[in-house]
């Protein structure tokens, strides 16, 4: 059984924040070696134009939600205690951050007109766009979701690898050109 003693709110928030940070590492490893590895059969849909509201890749989000729901249930209903609940809070928070950054801001699965202005947000968006210029499972860069290396580093990595089929669609190319101009102009 997991620790079930009392946890102050501020301690719980620190635990949840720590879990969010750990989840970025989990997401990187999962994205790099699972999604672009043996579960490419699900993730490949995310590297193709979406037809309809959902894609096979969405099953990864369902899995994350199932883990959170299970931890909440065990913590509250099965007596596993507040630590389990705070772990669930952290995983849920990461899922919400992922959904906001990845699905809404970057991929615009919910339509909006917001344009990132901060250097951080511009870098996150551009890094993920650079991840998507490669259509194949090999030769990609930038596997994290709330951290990304500088764009110049990612461009150098793409050039150095020289593997993978690059997208040439006019939509992606125009998005990349706009994003690169935005990054260059600060």
pTM for this model (two decimals): 0.82
CB atoms within 10 A of CB 21: 12
| 34 token code pair | 């699972």
Identify the pLDDT of residue 97: 95
Q: Where are the domains of the chain?
A: 9-106, 119-184
| 135 token code pair | 């259509």
Task: Tell me the pLDDT tens digit for each residue of 122-174.
Answer: 999 999 999 988 878 888 899 998 899 999 898 888 888 876 556 554 445 55
Mean pLDDT confidence for 61-76: 97
Mean pLDDT of the chain: 87
Task: Tell me the pLDDT tens digit for each residue of 104-122.
Answer: 998 889 989 999 999 999 9
Identify the pLDDT of residue 13: 97
Identify the pLDDT of residue 170: 44
Question: In sequence order, what are the residues at sequence separation of 6 or more whose Cβ sits closer than 8 angstroms to the Cβ of residue 26?
Answer: none
Identify the pLDDT of residue 177: 60
Q: Which 3-state string (H, E, C) describes the chain?
A: CCCCCCCCHHHHHHHHHHHHHHHHHHHHHHHHHHHHHHCHHHHHHHHCCCCCCCCCCHHHHHHHHHHHHHHHHHHHCCCCCHHHHHHHHHHHHHHHHHHHHHHHHHCCCCCCCCCCCCHHHHHHHHHHHHHHCECCCCCCCCCCCCCCCCHHHHHHHHHHHCCCCECCCHHHHHHHHHHHHHHHCC
């Amino acid at each position: 059984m997991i620790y079930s003693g009392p946890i102050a709110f501020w301690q719980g928030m620190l635990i949840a924040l720590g879990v969010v940070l750990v989840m970025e590492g989990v997401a990187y490893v999962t994205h790099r070696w699972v999604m672009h590895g043996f579960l490419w059969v699900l993730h490949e849909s995310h590297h193709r134009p979406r037809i309809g509201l959902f894609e096979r890749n969405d099953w990864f989000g369902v899995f994350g939600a199932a883990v959170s729901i299970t931890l909440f249930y065990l913590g509250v209903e099965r007596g596993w205690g507040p630590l389990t609940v705070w772990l669930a809070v952290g995983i849920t928070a990461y899922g919400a951050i992922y959904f906001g950054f990845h699905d809404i801001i970057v991929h615009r699965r919910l339509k909006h007109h917001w344009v990132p202005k901060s250097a951080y947000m511009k870098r996150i968006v551009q890094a993920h766009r650079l991840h998507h210029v490669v259509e194949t499972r090999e030769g990609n860069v930038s596997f994290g979701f709330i951290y990304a290396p500088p764009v110049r580093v990612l461009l150098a990595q793409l050039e150095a690898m020289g593997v993978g089929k690059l997208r040439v669609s006019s939509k992606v190319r125009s998005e990349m050109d706009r994003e690169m101009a935005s990054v260059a102009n600060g």
